[in-house]
Structure 1
Amino acid sequence: MFDLTGRRALVTGAGHGIGAAIAVALAEHGADVVVHYGHSAGRAAAVVDRIAALGRRAVALPADVTDTGQVDRLLAEATGHLGGLDVLVCNAGHLVGRVAVGEMSDEHFARVTDVNLTATFRTVRAALPALRAAGSGRIITMASLAAHNGGGPGAVAYAAAKAGVIGLTKGLAKELAPDRITVNALAPGYIGDTDFHATFSTPQRRAATVAALPVGRGGTAAEVAAAAVYLASAEAAFVTGTTLDVDGGAAPR
């Protein structure tokens, strides 16, 4: 079992879904966790309760990750609660909506890019002083199967933003290696037990997606969280600049 005892982690977008699963999994392996949320205060509080029941420290903090001032405040408050920072998981993101390119406004493209790619950049930037002060660290970003295959109908902006996350991850890995900070991305495919596909995909499309998966089933948030625990661990110290696909074999190889 990976041992994260004493590690201090911030997970963005951790009020529900994959982010919540990652926050709880990190705590299960010994980490203290700040649970960031945007709008889901009640659900974030429930995640904090789950972590506290494990005997770990946890607090829920709100912030709009598209606002630099709020992100800077989030990192200041998070590191204050934790006494530093060792692990940053940039999970916050959103499809926003399915829009065909011919009908897409500049504002929609910019909004999708901001909440997925630029928000990751500004969160990492704000976290760097604390990670450097710790002497080493782990940064985990959230890409997507869409970054590999262009996404489903109306998801061009999302696919482009998530492909950008992969490029950002690779660049950060090179730049931060001298600081003993690893940077890796997770690229989930169809994760069936979250709100994402229930919100943005029809039941027919969800069924067709699952039927096409080589493993014959959808994934779970817990399976993505297990990959995050590995990337946050000491055992992954030689792994950086990579994207770990958690997609049941769906990504082009």
Structure 2
Amino acid sequence: MTKIFEGKVVLMTGGSRGLGAATAEAFARQGADVAITYAASAEKAEAVVEALKAKGVRAIAIKSDQADLSSARPLIDKVIAEFGKLDILVNNAGIATQGQLVDDPNLDDEKYNRQWQVNVLGSIANTRAAAPRLSDGGRIIFIGSLLGSYVPFKGVADYAGTKAALIGYAKGIARDLGPRNITVNVLQPGAMPTDMNKDVAGELPPLDAFLDLHPIRRFATLEEVAEAVCFLAGPHAGYITGETINMAGGLGI
């Protein structure tokens, strides 16, 4: 495989499991040095780091609670102290809180508000901290969700709202950072086989009915989505910016 990211440094938030881990490995296979963040499981994060190092690249794991906005600048400081620079930021970390309707008298305000804190304000804090220190010609990629643009079932208003917010923010910073040839895009996968999706599976429609909504009747694989992230971060996507790209098997067309 061509090492198109050799000499590049990637920060992958939420990189200890699921899509984050798969994408970190895809970057490492193509030569990038990778920093991942994790919120709780140091053991899982270190296992990912060892897998990355086995591919011949440098890798570190940094504990960083994205709900704590003050953690953003120290995070970027640690990445640059370790690797000397930062070229690619992938805002992947997030949580999914779903299932309650907005008129539910027992709506768990605290839990749903934390989702906004992590998914939106945490991603923004990391981006603000990284932007002035990101290499010219760098990349910022937000992992959104198709629910940010298309909502086919109920009980996901707040989650969908957090992902929709990233679209507007990405467009704005694409304008701000364009003069430095930094591209900013949102990739919106549909359902994937991740732990987070398993956690909310009981809040989704029955599996067969849900799959019937898809022209391509299956879930995305982590590897497919990881490679799409790598494309947006790579040399052939330098003229794509401010875009929202759906990757959901045609759901919503």
1:44-193 correspondence runs (5 A): 44-103=45-104, 104-131=107-134, 134-150=135-151, 152-191=153-192, 193=193
- Do the aligned partners of 1:2 and 1:233 also contact (CA within 8 Å) in 2? no
Report the aligned-residue RMSD: 1.6
Instruction: Give unpaired runs (5+ residues) of structure 1.
Output: none
How far apart, in 1, do the equivalents of 2:67 and 2:196 lie? 19
How far apart, in 2, do the equivalents of 1:181 and 1:144 lie? 22
1:10 aligns to what?
11
For these two proteins, the number of residue pairs brought into alignment is: 249
How far apart, in 2, do the equivalents of 1:114 and 1:130 lie? 23
Given the superposition, is the C-alpha separation of residues 179 and 154 from structure 1 closer, same or farther in structure 2, using an over 3 Å criterion? same
Deviation string 1:1-26 (CA, Å, 9 cap, x unpaired) is: 57111100000011100111111111
1:214-253 correspondence runs (5 A): 214-252=215-253
Residue aligned with 1:215, SS: coil
How far apart, in 2, do the equivalents of 1:116 and 1:205 lie? 26
- Do the aligned partners of 1:186 and 1:245 also contact (CA within 8 Å) in 2? yes
How far apart, in 2, do the equivalents of 1:20 and 1:236 lie? 22
How far apart, in 2, do the equivalents of 1:119 and 1:180 lie? 24
Once the two structures are TM-superposed, the CA of residue 180 in structure 1 deviates from its matched residue by 1.4
Once the two structures are TM-superposed, the CA of residue 250 in structure 1 deviates from its matched residue by 0.8
2:194 aligns to what?
194
How far apart, in 1, do the equivalents of 2:149 and 2:207 lie? 19
How far apart, in 2, do the equivalents of 1:9 and 1:151 lie? 34
User: What TM-score do you get using the length of structure 1 for normalisation?
Assistant: 0.93
Given the superposition, is the C-alpha separation of residues 151 and 50 from structure 1 closer, same or farther in structure 2, using an over 3 Å criterion? farther
Q: Percent identity?
A: 37
1:20 aligns to what?
21
Given the superposition, is the C-alpha separation of residues 160 and 151 from structure 1 closer, same or farther in structure 2, using an over 3 Å criterion? farther
- Do the aligned partners of 1:184 and 1:241 also contact (CA within 8 Å) in 2? yes
How far apart, in 2, do the equivalents of 1:41 and 1:31 lie? 22
1:205 aligns to what?
206
- Do the aligned partners of 1:197 and 1:206 also contact (CA within 8 Å) in 2? no
User: What TM-score do you get using the length of structure 2 for normalisation?
Assistant: 0.93
Please state which structure has a larger fraction of its residues in helix. 1
Instruction: Give unpaired runs (5+ residues) of structure 2.
Output: none
- Do the aligned partners of 1:186 and 1:228 also contact (CA within 8 Å) in 2? yes
Residue aligned with 2:183, SS: strand
How far apart, in 2, do the equivalents of 1:8 and 1:220 lie? 25
